[in-house]
Structure 1
Amino acid sequence: MAERPTTIWREGIAEEPEELAAGTLDPEGACMAGLFPEDLLTATDAVLDTFETELRCLAEADDAQIFGVVERVVLALNAVNEAHDGSAYETDERELLCDYIDRSLTEHGVDIVALTARHGLGRYQITDKWRKW
């Protein structure tokens, strides 16, 4: 199963104190907790919970239904990003979120290459129409 970005971020937060104690991380480089406050993680997880629930219904979905699921998750993530002054998801976070959406769709039987090609899009453009993060 695709690993949630929030899991990766939480692991990074948990590792920083250990790295600081071991002297393998410069204190000035310790930033995970600041980048990923609990309210951001909780809000992102809530969005991903809904996305995962909707994925279970895609077995016989048509293109419009699949794009509807993508649109809803992206718009919900836009709202989380806006609630954090438009800076919740930077480049690395965006890439993880897009990869998570891609992998999750694929795991639920969506041929993303074929889907996007049918609509004149490249594989990695599936979120572009709605994404503001």
Structure 2
Amino acid sequence: MAERPTTSWREGIAREAEQLAAGTLDPGCACMADLYPDELLTATDTALDSFDAEVAELDSAKDVQIFAVVERVVVALNAVDDVHCGYETDEREALCAYIDEALTEYGVDVAALTARHGLGRYELTDKWRDW
């Protein structure tokens, strides 16, 4: 199963907290908790929960249905980013990769889907993405 970006972000926060507690990390170098506040993580997971539920129901869906699911998650993530300003380049790439991997796991040939619409594989979210 595709790993959500929020999982690795939470793991990074936990590792950093352990290093701080052990005294192996200078507090001035700690940044994970500031980069990924709980509100950002929770809101991102809420958007991805809805996406995952919709993707699981796509069985033999038409392109328009698949694009609609992608649009909804991207718009939801736009709203999260509007409030929390939390998605920089690495986060954007991780979110896009998650969307691609989740669709692929449920049988969507993302490369073929995007090619049928004159897009490159990695342009799947571009039409709606503000982050």
TM, length-normalised to structure 2: 0.96
Aligned residue in 2 for 1:124: 122
In the alignment, the residues of structure 2 paired with residue 25 and residue 8 of structure 1 have an alpha-carbon distance, to the nearest angstrom, of 19
Is residue 2:99 matched to residue 1:98?
Answer: no
Aligned residue in 2 for 1:16: 16
Alignment coverage as a number of residue pairs:
131
Aligned residue in 2 for 1:111: 109
Mark the runs of 5 or more structure 2 residues left unpaired by the alignment. Answer: none
RMSD: 1.0
* Correspondence 1:56-75 to 2 at 5 A: 56-75=56-75
Counterpart code for 1:90: E
* Correspondence 1:79-98 to 2 at 5 A: 79-84=79-84, 87-98=85-96
In the alignment, the residues of structure 2 paired with residue 75 and residue 50 of structure 1 have an alpha-carbon distance, to the nearest angstrom, of 12
In the alignment, the residues of structure 1 paired with residue 17 and residue 74 of structure 2 have an alpha-carbon distance, to the nearest angstrom, of 32
Counterpart code for 1:28: G
In the alignment, the residues of structure 2 paired with residue 24 and residue 117 of structure 1 have an alpha-carbon distance, to the nearest angstrom, of 49
In the alignment, the residues of structure 1 paired with residue 77 and residue 94 of structure 2 have an alpha-carbon distance, to the nearest angstrom, of 13
Mark the runs of 5 or more structure 1 residues left unpaired by the alignment. Answer: none
